[in-house]
Structure 1
Amino acid sequence: MNRELTHWTGPEGLPRFDLIDDGDFAPAFDRELTAAEAAHEAIAANPDAPTFDNTIAAMEVADEGLNRLLSIFYTLAGVDSNDARQALQRDFAPRLAEYGSRISMDPRLYARVKAVAEGAEELVPEDRRIIELALRDLTRAGAGLNPEDRTRMAAIRARLAVLTTDFTQNVLADERDFILPVADDRLAGLPDWLVRAMRAAARERGLQGQAVTLNRSLIVPFLEHADDRALRETAFRAWIARGSGQGAGGAKTDNLPLVQEILQLRHERARLLGHDDFASWKLETQMAATPDRVEDLLSQVWTAARARAAEDQDKLTAMLHADGVNGTLEAWDWRHYAERLRQQEHSIDAGQVAPYLTLEAMLGAVFDVAHRLFALEFEVLEAPLWAPDVRAWRVTRGGRLMAIFVGDFFARPSKRSGAWCSALQVQHKIGEGQRAIVVNVCNFTPPETAGGPAFLSWDDARTLFHEFGHATHHILSDVSWPSISGTSVAQDFVELPSQLYEHWLEQPSVLDAHARHHETGAPLPADLRDRLLAAGNADAGFSTVEYLESALVDLAFHRGAPPADAMARQAEVLHDLDAPAAIPMRHATPHFAHVFAGDGYAAGYYSYMWSEVMDADAFAAFEETGDVFDPATARRLVETILSRGGSAPADDLWMAFRGRMPGVDALLKGRGLT
């Protein structure tokens, strides 16, 4: 048995990834799963009367070894997938679901937690909170069901684990297997930095010349800049075909049958628990509380966004026709003409900006903002990680170690698309306590040459800030129990810290200090900076519409009876919205990983906008002081939100910070939709 999987011996307690082999996982999983089951059985069968210590506190640490093992495994499965890891995922998923069902639906544990809850009045607030959450989670898992329904619930969860794993792997396969070579005579319109990135992508796939892959950091700027309309169409169709059976993997990566079964099983699960539908069950524990409140928010924003998109579509269509193209503006045209319009209206050329937005420069900005707001310091930590270009830092405050931060920033064929924040371990105070080891993963285009600069788009820079905002939630966490640590909050509250942090990217003082030319060190010229910031909402109608389409389709899928045909239901929702044909969903159903790669954002994709309502108002709290780095406001943010995790309901945490609930006006103003 490889003890490194659960007893980490690397610098500052990091795992030694260089000592881990894929063959180590299966035996370690068997061992740790058995140990976790035994620990929970000991709690459930304890003949002593239930107490906080012998029930609730014991449950907090019962699966510690299993969690440590799985944090390593799923990190590697996401950032560097291979056939062995995919096979292990398919093996682990139903077994973990079965284990979770046995624990969360054990009537003995349920009875013990209920007994502890009845005498919890004298406990401190955090202890009462984890009792409340444990009882809620057991109830929502089905612990109170009759034996027959518990058996059916366990079967549903096991099957969903298989389906969502297959969904993820199908999308990854389509993304991995597609590549579009682009000949030298078809590069018109592409800036030098993008051509260099395309050459790096081709070289990584063993090709000469340059190519487009389905990495978002590559395909989006290609669609924005390529003059070759036929190439744009080919690339775009491949991008939206992921998981549909029409992508690079063909029928073997068709996710639509999986989607149908996932929706059916989720509905059945909710009905077993006494809810009308999955959306009602899911939203019960969120800030939004009900599907009606979600739809009300999204509908308010849709009207303004749709109107702005219609205005922009007229302008872009005129530009298309001026180029001699007769016909309608298509989805593969929108980004191209929107970028040209942005250049015309704001005199912005992405090629002018790119030399100033290197990864190193923007990391400096991210860390500087964290220092000015939260007094955090970052020191490079040399450690053996999973790839040579993955990096780590010690995060300290006043000389005290706060956390370890790990960054995996570059795309690779084996990496899941998108960007995310996770934790190898979370902060808690049990025993000697532990600090978070937090991981940010992105898919930026790697440098053309080893050791050379990596150029980011403005959207990439925003992603870097966004994911580090999540990281602050882990780094600054200061709670007693792992189950309420860091980002363990309501789904529609979890995006508040990340989206709030994005605002500091847009501060002139931050750009002046850090957006420096990679060769000369000269700062981004003030007039170019101002034009860049002024262009921030240049295509707000498009970005808001594509997001809302996905959020409203997600809600429709999970509200009421599941659709007999998911794609037909998607089309119906978009038709009823009068959605512009040239603006497809940001995430079409066959590759909507937020919703179908797990339950996390299912009936919850709206949460980005719910959090945006709060982040706009939260940043206004800084602006109202006259100093966006106001120490007192930053301290209040830490004390009421960032350090508190899930130790209190999200509404209470927000009210403690702001003193009132926010309205949608700040969001509309921030997006330029008023």
Structure 2
Amino acid sequence: MTNPLLETWDTPFGLPPFDRIADGDFAPAMEAALEEGRAAIAAIAENPEPASFANTVAALEMADALLDRVAGVFYNLAGSTSNPVREGLQREFAPKLSAYSSEITNNAALFARIDDLWQRRDQLELTEEEERVLYLTHRSFARSGAALEGAARARLTEVKARLAVLGTEFTQNLLADERDWTMPLSEADLEGLPGFVIDAARAAGQEKGHEGPVVTLSRSLIVPFLQFSPRRDLRERAWRAWTARGRNGGATDNRAIAAEILTLREERARLLGYESFAAYKLETEMAGNPQAVRDLLMRVWEPARAQAMADAERLEAMLHEDGINGALEPWDWRYYSEKRRAAEHDLNEAELKPYFRLEAMIEAAFDCANRLFGLEFRPLDVALYHPDARAWEVTRKGAHVAVFIGDYFARGSKRSGAWCSAMRSQKKLGGDVRPIVVNVCNFAKGDPALLSYDDARTLFHEFGHALHQMLSDVTHGSISGTSVARDFVELPSQLYEHWLEVPEVLDRHARHAETGAPMPPALRDRLLAARTYDMGFQTVEYVASALVDLDFHDGPAPADPMAAEAETLARLGMPRAIGMRHATPHFAHVFAGDGYSSGYYSYMWSEVMDADAFDAFEEAGGPFDAETAARLERFILSAGGSREADALYTAFRGRMPGVEALLKGRGLDKAA
């Protein structure tokens, strides 16, 4: 029998033949891909011809074509539709892929060719993009230990392999905790909950095999439960379970894993000559160094904490008015904040939610992309990996641009959160390759599926990442799409959120799920007027997590991360009724891999730019100004990592922004 992962895919747009791929195909396909990659690397390293960009760097770009294809399918499925077989394969693949990566960077002959090109770069007559790719390739090898020798090189290889294993274990433990916990609700427990929460709880119960409604640890269900349930005992039980993910003891406890990861990261950085992992990691980011990150976060922390403390007093007074003695607790905040929002802004989630139907918000995201960039979206009838997933062909002026896949609903086999990935990235080297881009979310199912305003923002956020992938226009895959500095990658996504707040977008797409009537202008205006409501809470829970992440990595690794987390929060004066957005045992951004390690701050670094970037549209005459949109596509969305991030932003905007627009956008400019 043939392995469909190793065949040429004669499918529409070269989509993976999901209906023919079985779990048993992945291991042999991965072995074949690694073998093919090793052969290609050996051919490059052992080439008797003098090194040239084409026979070394460009050849290296093409060496992993099969591996990229196999891994692109597998890891998308492992994150969105996990099962025991796929989890076992993840554990099997992690050390193999780490070893393969180390084989490449430890290949002395290969690095010698790359270094030779780097030393002769001024004589090579390279294009601007080729110069950039050579620079990034040389830097990547050096930062991966290519210049190390002997015991240091061997130890770095061991460290990277172990980190790959630990990151996989952390992710799978978190998924297990999220998958296994439910809180069944009796009919009496449903009292006070709006219909959309009850519907979501019933749908979750059905998905989990329960006869009645349940609360799960999916954010799109547990957050509205905490907002609306008048049962303080149930709110406490749900909040404690939500925040205990990864620290429940037993086989899925992540605390020891986090400690080992931090220790190994510090060792990795020191082997490479850096004083800390943060110094190593931030060297290639826009921030450049840990102090720049700390300065930004603390400038935001002070006014945010002041606002949060003032809000806490108001909410605690409401708690006491309900006849409850004692302090405001974390499981109380969302409940009383929702009541306060209803009182002060004449808004409540139950009134808003019918206007944010999932289908309408997808159409809104598509419509904005059409008006800004001329993109059109046509539904595709193709085999996909799960019944909830659906696909569209993306075109512009009749020409194919990309395939976009949306997978929006929560399920037990899907890891938490929301993300964008590419099963295939755009590139031109070796032929014009158009991307296959996937947005994955965890919205509650319903008939119809209704989103909160925050859910709708998440949808727009992830679609902003998708646009960065779909509109990429570079030659080399290594700098395609979102292959940019981590603290720049969130700019397109956070910027795109702003279009959800455009009144004409809401007028066109925010229509009542039952009546089809547009959102009343008075309700829309109240919604937009309240967009900075509770921003002290939101900013504090985020910045606290970012500062804990930075403290973990900016200096010696803590022997006890939980104690170190507590010390950081105590030093900051963390309000007692607010928890970190991501506490250590479930901080997947930081511990599931190196992506956001020492880099969770990057959302806020990008926010400094996104607030300023949207101002560029307003200054030019409106949110759909064609000239500004063209500059955004040219210098940001299509450029990938072809230039340094600050150079790209300056080319778009003419200057770099300050933090003032961020503070104003969050309503914190007068909070201190």
Q: TM-score range by the shorter chain?
A: over 0.9
In the alignment, which residue of structure 2 is the partner of 1:543?
538
Greater Cα offset, 287-296 or 386-395: 386-395
Q: Distance in 2 between matches of 1:431 and 1:112?
A: 21
Shift in Å at residue 4 of structure 1?
3.5
SS at match of 1:157: helix
Q: Distance in 1 between matches of 2:274 and 2:430?
A: 40
CA contact (8 A) 2:4 2:17 kept: no
CA contact (8 A) 1:5 1:68 kept: no
Shift in Å at residue 186 of structure 1?
1.6
Q: Does 1:206 align with 2:209?
A: yes
* 1:383-422 equivalences in 2 (<5 Å): 383-422=382-421
In the alignment, which residue of structure 2 is the partner of 1:142?
145
CA contact (8 A) 1:409 1:444 kept: yes
SS at match of 2:49: coil
Q: 2:626 aligns with which of 626, 631, 641?
A: 631
Q: Does 1:328 align with 2:327?
A: yes
Q: How big is each residue's C-alpha offset from its partner over 1:568-626, in whole Å with a ceiling of 9 and x where there is no partner? A: 10000000000101111000000000000000000000000000000000001011112
Q: Does 1:516 align with 2:517?
A: no
In the alignment, which residue of structure 2 is the partner of 1:164?
167
Percentage of matched positions with identical amino acids: 59
Q: Distance in 2 between matches of 1:533 and 1:126?
A: 42
Q: Which 4+ stretches in 1 moved above 4 angstroms? A: none
Shift in Å at residue 146 of structure 1?
1.4
In the alignment, which residue of structure 2 is the partner of 1:236?
239
Structure 1 counterpart of 2:197, one-letter code: L
In the alignment, which residue of structure 2 is the partner of 1:285?
284
Q: Distance in 2 between matches of 1:28 and 1:546?
A: 43
Q: Does 1:154 align with 2:177?
A: no
Which residues of structure 1 form unaligned runs of 5+? none
* 1:339-378 equivalences in 2 (<5 Å): 339-378=338-377
SS at match of 1:145: coil
SS at match of 1:624: helix
Shift in Å at residue 209 of structure 1?
2.1
Shift in Å at residue 280 of structure 1?
0.1
Shift in Å at residue 106 of structure 1?
1.6
Q: 1:604 aligns with which of 577, 587, 599?
A: 599
Q: Distance in 1 between matches of 2:130 and 2:313?
A: 58
Q: How big is each residue's C-alpha offset from its partner over 1:61-82, in whole Å with a ceiling of 9 and x where there is no partner? A: 1011011000100011000100
SS at match of 2:530: helix
Q: Distance in 2 between matches of 1:10 and 1:255?
A: 41
In the alignment, which residue of structure 1 is the partner of 2:220?
217
Q: Distance in 2 between matches of 1:159 and 1:9?
A: 38
Q: Distance in 2 between matches of 1:147 and 1:9?
A: 47
Shift in Å at residue 6 of structure 1?
5.6
Q: Does 1:78 align with 2:79?
A: yes
Shift in Å at residue 5 of structure 1?
5.0
Shift in Å at residue 219 of structure 1?
0.4
SS at match of 1:537: coil
1:6 to 1:548, Cα distance in 2 relative to 1, 3 A: farther
CA contact (8 A) 1:549 1:585 kept: yes
In the alignment, which residue of structure 1 is the partner of 2:489?
494
TM-score relative to the length of structure 2: 0.98
Q: Distance in 2 between matches of 1:551 and 1:272?
A: 25
CA contact (8 A) 1:394 1:404 kept: yes
Q: Distance in 2 between matches of 1:638 and 1:206?
A: 46
Q: Does 1:469 align with 2:472?
A: no
Alignment RMSD: 0.9
Q: Distance in 1 between matches of 2:574 and 2:330?
A: 12
In the alignment, which residue of structure 2 is the partner of 1:436?
435
Structure 2 counterpart of 1:153, one-letter code: L
Q: 2:561 aligns with which of 559, 566, 569?
A: 566
Structure 1 counterpart of 2:193, one-letter code: L
In the alignment, which residue of structure 1 is the partner of 2:580?
585
Q: Distance in 1 between matches of 2:345 and 2:17?
A: 49
CA contact (8 A) 2:304 2:535 kept: yes
Shift in Å at residue 260 of structure 1?
0.7
CA contact (8 A) 1:6 1:69 kept: no
In the alignment, which residue of structure 2 is the partner of 1:18?
19
Q: Does 1:127 align with 2:122?
A: no
In the alignment, which residue of structure 2 is the partner of 1:664?
659
Which residues of structure 2 form unaligned runs of 5+? none
Shift in Å at residue 349 of structure 1?
1.8
Q: Distance in 2 between matches of 1:295 and 1:5?
A: 47
CA contact (8 A) 2:5 2:29 kept: no
SS at match of 1:276: coil
CA contact (8 A) 1:403 1:438 kept: yes
Q: Distance in 2 between matches of 1:299 and 1:536?
A: 23
SS at match of 1:333: helix
1:301 to 1:5, Cα distance in 2 relative to 1, 3 A: farther
Q: Distance in 1 between matches of 2:503 and 2:564?
A: 45
Shift in Å at residue 519 of structure 1?
2.1
Structure 2 counterpart of 1:389, one-letter code: D
SS at match of 1:522: coil
CA contact (8 A) 2:5 2:25 kept: no
Q: Distance in 2 between matches of 1:277 and 1:18?
A: 47
Shift in Å at residue 8 of structure 1?
2.6
Q: Distance in 1 between matches of 2:582 and 2:208?
A: 26
Structure 1 counterpart of 2:131, one-letter code: R
Q: Distance in 2 between matches of 1:7 and 1:116?
A: 34
Q: 2:639 aligns with which of 629, 644, 647?
A: 644
CA contact (8 A) 1:409 1:443 kept: yes
Structure 2 counterpart of 1:566, one-letter code: P
Shift in Å at residue 10 of structure 1?
2.5
Q: Distance in 2 between matches of 1:172 and 1:205?
A: 15
In the alignment, which residue of structure 2 is the partner of 1:303?
302
Q: How big is each residue's C-alpha offset from its partner over 1:416-460, in whole Å with a ceiling of 9 and x where there is no partner? A: 00000000000011232110110000000112xxxx311101110
CA contact (8 A) 1:93 1:162 kept: yes
Q: Distance in 2 between matches of 1:5 and 1:399?
A: 31
SS at match of 1:618: helix
Shift in Å at residue 657 of structure 1?
0.6
Structure 1 counterpart of 2:315, one-letter code: L
SS at match of 1:336: helix
Q: Distance in 2 between matches of 1:186 and 1:165?
A: 37
Structure 1 counterpart of 2:491, one-letter code: L
CA contact (8 A) 1:5 1:20 kept: no
Structure 2 counterpart of 1:400, one-letter code: A
Shift in Å at residue 628 of structure 1?
1.0
In the alignment, which residue of structure 1 is the partner of 2:229?
226
TM-score relative to the length of structure 1: 0.98
Q: How big is each residue's C-alpha offset from its partner over 1:316-353, in whole Å with a ceiling of 9 and x where there is no partner? A: 00000000000000000001111111111111121111
Shift in Å at residue 118 of structure 1?
2.6
1:443 to 1:5, Cα distance in 2 relative to 1, 3 A: farther
Structure 2 counterpart of 1:617, one-letter code: D
SS at match of 1:536: coil
- Aligned pair count reads 666
CA contact (8 A) 1:5 1:15 kept: no
In the alignment, which residue of structure 1 is the partner of 2:30?
29
* 1:41-190 equivalences in 2 (<5 Å): 41-121=42-122, 122-190=125-193
In the alignment, which residue of structure 2 is the partner of 1:459?
454
Q: Distance in 2 between matches of 1:172 and 1:26?
A: 22
Q: Distance in 1 between matches of 2:569 and 2:191?
A: 34
Shift in Å at residue 108 of structure 1?
1.3
Q: Distance in 1 between matches of 2:4 and 2:198?
A: 46
CA contact (8 A) 1:422 1:439 kept: yes
